[in-house]
Amino acid sequence: MVAVRGLTEIGVSNVPMLGRRWRFAGAAAGAVLLAGALAACSGGAGRGPQESDSPARARLMSASQYSQTIANIFGEDISAAVPAPLPPMPRTDGLLAAGAASIGLTSDQLGQLHQAATAIASKVVDEAHREFLVPCKPQSPKAADAECATQFISSTGRLLYRRPLPEARVTELVRIAGQTADDLKDFYAGLGTALEGMLISPEMLFVVDVPEPDPDNKGRYRLDAYSLASRLSFFLWNSAPDDELLRAAESGEIQTRKGRERIVDAMLKSSRLEHGVRAFFEDLFEFEKFNSLAKDAMAYPAVTGSTLADAREQTLRTIVDHLITRHEDYRDLYTSRKTFMSMNLAAIYEVPAVDGWVPYEFPEGSPRAGLLTQVSFLASHAHPARSSPTLRGKALRELVLCQKVPPPPPNVDFSLLEDPDASLKTARERLAVHASNPSCAGCHLITDPMGLALENFDGAGRFRDNENGAALDTSGDLDGTEFKDVDGLNVALRDHPMLPSCIVNRMYSFGVGGPVSMSRDRQILAYLKEQFIKDGYRVPELLREIALSAAFSQVRPPKPPKPDTTLASSTATAVQPADTNTR
């Protein structure tokens, strides 16, 4: 009964030994009945349109989710020491997160993940960490101890797999840990080996949505309790569920309307929310560009790698402070003068230098207001040695308003764009040729008028009042709203009708882990937008509304595959979507 003792210690004492992970099914089923009774009164455990759902997906964990999960389970120091070797996701409909459900894992990548697993495991069980990461002491550190190994493998495995390990798997890992411990005369080496295996398991690396029939909504499917816990956790925290969230899944509380509200509210209050919000905006604003961003040292000698790293951090701090700490209107992010300043950035913004990060507010009359005028946006959407109104306009359209700017045609006649004569001093003059060329004008008229409004900032984001000695004309219009300068552009963007729709669509997509479908998701997106407006464009409320929606937890099970012809599954049978007990 070693396994029972281990589980008791993590708070699951009343569960009979039913075998595999489904020993918890009884407790969960009881809660489901209760949930069903509640739902009968309230119309389902989820809010909003009851017909909306998303496909059940198998998402590969992202590098930042992997690192955050390791940090939460084993500590920041271990996470920081081992880079997460997960592949970069393909950006899909505006988000990397939406590509996680289609990307494959190559053999080479899995080899790297194994290398990371061995590095993590050896740190977890080393002398500096075992005291607080292994929940028990073996009888002898030089021999197997099945009881202690069971405790560690059950409790750690539950956090890594985001659900209890099947009993047979625990037994097998304990056996291997014991054998290795005896062979090497080292209990902890045995634990480390078992941990390596858990760290490369598909249950750890793939976040798989497990569907089950929805008792509140006949004929439909919902995520099982553990899958829902994972979806909530990766959405709001960018990390795997913690112990408390898994308990709520174990008890079935998470499947009740009241329970889910309590859990989501607690998650929104957690300090981990900042990780989730940062992850979303890093993805939305394509901050992966910063991993390889650099400026021409001759053109911008003051802009180093640390300056650009600080620029990214400045924007993330501004976002978290504005949306979470001060609970302000999302739209005001594009006009607010409040931000944070560091020593590196002070030189670029030409403000007094300070030590460390301090709050800073640009004075009235300063051209700096809102995210568009921060160095992160201006420098990452520009060339290494010059600004680019086109790249900036395109980024504004695509990242902030979710509009699509078509790529240039392959057969475009570039002869008109060849190095213009030296009399053309400003980007506006140089870009004028695009507007006069029909094959260019279509797209450049979409991007350039707003990009040109940012021409008071050079390719590194420094302010300038002229270009090559010529005065800058920063007037323009954004979808019918005319403006005279960058302040006007900021206000036009703040009041643009696509601004709220864009963040609603992207945030919902981020939450359910795949691209939205404008036909299938129309109802839920309209509902969320309406709520967002009603809530005064507050992002925590939007996160809450998404997390509590029926659409968030209802899924469409995968279609059964054709008779198996695949390499690996000689013993696999056709999919049984309703039979979640097989997972």
Partner 1 sequence: MTDFSRRRVLRGMLNGAAVSVALPMLNCFLNDNGSALADGRPIPQRFGTWSWGLGMSEAIFVPKKTGPNFDLPPEIAPLKPVQQHINLLTNFHVFKDAAPNLCHHTGWVILRSGIAPLTAQNRPGETIDVTIAKKIGNETRFKNLCANATGDVRDSFSYENGNSVNTPEWSPIRFYQRLFGEDFQNPNAAEFKPDPRVMARKSVLSGVMEESKALTKTLGAEDRARLDQYFTGLRDLERRFDLQLRKPDPLAACVVPGKPEDLPAGLDADLVSKRHRIMTELMLMAVACDQTRVFNMFYAAAFSGTTKPGYDKPHHTATHEEAVDEHQHCQPNVSWYTRRAMEEWAYFVQALASVKEGDGTLLDNVFVFALTDQSFAKTHAIEGIPMFTAGRAGGRVKTGLHIDGGGSPGTRAGYTAMKLMGVDAPSWGHQSNNTSKEIGEILV
Subset of 202-221 contacting partner 1 (CB under 8 A): 202-203, 205-206, 208, 210
Q: Binders of partner 1: how many residues, by CB under 8 A?
A: 87
- Contact with partner 1 (CB under 8 A) among 350, 364, 419, 465: 419
- Contact with partner 1 (CB under 8 A) among 29, 81, 110, 533: 110
Of 124, 256, 244, 243, which Cα lies nearest the Cα of 194? 124
Does 109 interact with partner 1 (rule: CB under 8 A)? yes
Radius of gyration of the chain (CA): 27
Q: How far is the CB of 88 from partner 1 (least distance, A)?
A: 5
Cβ-based nearer residue to partner 1, 520 or 583? 583
Does 575 interact with partner 1 (rule: CB under 8 A)? yes
Structure-block tokens of residue 395 = 């980024």
Cβ-based nearer residue to partner 1, 27 or 417? 417
Structure-block tokens of residue 393 = 């306009």
φ, ψ for residue 38, nearest 5 deg: -65, -40
> What gap in Å lies between CA 222 and CA 209, rounded to an integer?
9
Q: How far is the CB of 319 from partner 1 (least distance, A)?
A: 23
Of residues 484 through 503, those in contact with partner 1 by CB under 8 A are none
- Contact with partner 1 (CB under 8 A) among 417, 432, 441, 498: 417
- Contact with partner 1 (CB under 8 A) among 97, 229, 273, 293: 293
Q: How far is the CB of 23 from partner 1 (least distance, A)?
A: 16
- Contact with partner 1 (CB under 8 A) among 36, 213, 384, 540: 384
Q: How far is the CB of 100 from partner 1 (least distance, A)?
A: 11
- Contact with partner 1 (CB under 8 A) among 115, 139, 140, 439: 115
Of residues 350 through 369, those in contact with partner 1 by CB under 8 A are none
Of residues 68 through 107, those in contact with partner 1 by CB under 8 A are 83, 85, 87-88, 90, 101-107
> What gap in Å lies between CA 173 and CA 164, rounded to an integer?
14
Does 173 interact with partner 1 (rule: CB under 8 A)? yes
Of residues 180 through 199, those in contact with partner 1 by CB under 8 A are 180, 183-184, 189-190, 193-194, 196-197
Q: Tell me, residue by residue from 252 to 291, as one string, x for binding to partner 1 by CB under 8 A and - for no binding.
A: ---------------------------------------x
Q: How far is the CB of 438 from partner 1 (least distance, A)?
A: 18
Cβ-based nearer residue to partner 1, 79 or 318? 79
Cβ-based nearer residue to partner 1, 136 or 417? 417
Does 411 interact with partner 1 (rule: CB under 8 A)? yes
- Contact with partner 1 (CB under 8 A) among 383, 464, 484, 522: 383
Does 410 interact with partner 1 (rule: CB under 8 A)? yes
Element containing residue 176 per DSSP (H, E): helix 167-184
Instruction: Kindly write down the DSSP assignment for every residue of 324-369, as one continuous string.
Output: IIS---GGGGGT--EEEE-HHHHHHHTS---SS-EEEEPPTT-S--
Using the Cα atoms of residue 64, residue 67, residue 70 and residue 74 in order, give the sign of their dihedral. negative
> What gap in Å lies between CA 355 and CA 342, rounded to an integer?
7
Does 172 interact with partner 1 (rule: CB under 8 A)? yes
Cβ-based nearer residue to partner 1, 49 or 393? 393
Could you give the C-alpha distances from 439 to 95, 388, 432, 434, 558, in angstroms and in order? 29, 19, 13, 8, 44
Residue with tokens 């070693």: 2
> What is the rounded (10 degree) CA torsion for 25, 49, 329, 503?
90
Cβ-based nearer residue to partner 1, 165 or 546? 165
Does 112 interact with partner 1 (rule: CB under 8 A)? yes
Which residues have CB under 8 Å from 31's CB, separation 6+? 251, 252, 253, 255, 256
Cβ-based nearer residue to partner 1, 14 or 292? 292
For the chain, the maximum distance between any two Cα atoms, rounded to a whole number of angstroms, is 86
Cβ-based nearer residue to partner 1, 355 or 579? 579
Residues forming beta bridges with residue 359, ordered by sequence position:
340
Q: Tell me, residue by residue from 307 to 346, as one string, x for binding to partner 1 by CB under 8 A and - for no binding.
A: ----------------------------------------
Buried residues in 56-91 as b, exposed as e (16+ CB within 10 A): bbebbbbbbbbbbbbbbbbbeebbeebebbbbebee
Q: How far is the CB of 421 from partner 1 (least distance, A)?
A: 11
> What gap in Å lies between CA 311 and CA 315, rounded to an integer?
7
Task: Choose one: 248-256, 262-270, 437-445, 565-573; the region binding partner 1 (CB under 8 A).
Answer: 565-573
> What gap in Å lies between CA 112 and CA 125, rounded to an integer?
20
> What gap in Å lies between CA 44 and CA 578, rounded to an integer?
19
Per DSSP, the three-state class of 38 is helix
Does 296 interact with partner 1 (rule: CB under 8 A)? yes
φ, ψ for residue 354, nearest 5 deg: -140, 160
Could you tell me the end-to-end alpha-carbon distance of the chain, in angstroms, rounded to an integer?
A: 23
φ, ψ for residue 442, nearest 5 deg: -50, -50
Does 583 interact with partner 1 (rule: CB under 8 A)? yes
> What gap in Å lies between CA 561 and CA 170, rounded to an integer?
30
Q: How far is the CB of 230 from partner 1 (least distance, A)?
A: 14
* Cβ atoms 124, 133 nearer than 8 A: yes
Q: How far is the CB of 582 from partner 1 (least distance, A)?
A: 6
> What gap in Å lies between CA 542 and CA 504, rounded to an integer?
8
Residue with tokens 């998470």: 254
Q: How far is the CB of 190 from partner 1 (least distance, A)?
A: 8
Does 482 interact with partner 1 (rule: CB under 8 A)? no
Q: How far is the CB of 268 from partner 1 (least distance, A)?
A: 31
Of residues 388 through 407, those in contact with partner 1 by CB under 8 A are 407
